[in-house]
A = this chain, B = another copy of it.
Amino acid sequence: MPSKAAEDYLKHIFLLHQRAQEDLVPMGDLAESMGVVPGTATSMVKKLNAARLVNYEAYSGVKLTAKGRRIALQVLRRHRIIETLLVKTFGLDWSEVHDEAEQLEHTISDRLLERIDVFLGHPTTDPHGDPIPSAQGQLPKSSPRRLSDCSQGEKVTICRIVDQDQDFLRFIEQHGLKPGSQVQIDVIDEAGDSIRILPERKKPLIMGSHAARKLLVESSG
């Protein structure tokens, strides 16, 4: 039974690995993601390594073992089901549920979680569009692209926001964007490092390419 903190490290390692496509997650990235000082990450990872939840190579990085991955996916499942509950059932705003879910994901029992899952009708994605792993730890596959990789004129559907930063979420939301929103790529300004998009029935907006990397999209129709 890993502690809450251990669960959290496993989850962060999983997500960083997924985002970066690198085999090993560097300690620095993990520490930053966890909001701790690097030394703290090292000492925790050494414990996880001793518990055979990760494979850790000093000075190169860390990756999950099969067992660690299983736990990470369970935590992710909790997190995303809880977020769905908070938004769908209790009407909280999808841009503000992350921190709450972060806490609850380590508190709710398996028994209750499955009841909530039933109550929600076995949702497959959370309010950010992120896929919910199954109870058996299967992660539905999808192949979205970054908004920043799209070409001018393309019409796409936003499917995920790959960032939990409050300010960014608020920015996105204030422009009426959410998973499912259709947008057209209006102008790509290479020199200005920005992209202009046209949401349906909303004002056009311009964002930097760095921000555009955080929006995952699929071709619409």
Question: Could you list which residues of chain A lie within 8 angstroms of chain B, going by C-beta atoms?
Answer: 86, 89-92, 100, 103-104, 107-109, 111-112, 115-116, 119
> When the two chains form their complex, are residues A86 and B104 in contact, meaning their CB atoms are under 8 A apart?
no
Collect the chain B residues with CB atoms within 8 Å of residue A90's CB: 112, 115-116, 119
Summarize A's interface: helix, strand, loop or mixed.
helix
Residues in chain B near residue A119, CB distance under 8 A: 89-90
Task: Answer whether A107 and B103 are a contact pair too, CB < 8 Å, given A89-B119, A90-B116, A119-B89.
Answer: yes
How many chain copies?
Answer: 2
Across the interface, which residues of B come within 8 angstroms of A108, CB to CB?
A: 100, 104
- Max chain B C-beta neighbours (<10 A), residue from A89, A91, A112: A112
Q: Give the Cβ gap from A202 to chain B, nearest Cβ, in Å.
A: 27
Q: What is the distance, in angstroms, from A188's C-beta to the closest C-beta of chain B?
A: 39
Q: A91 touches which one: B92, B100, B115 (CB < 8 A)?
A: B115
Q: Is the CB of B103 within 8 A of A115?
A: no
Q: How far is the CB of A82 from chain B (nearest CB, A)?
A: 10
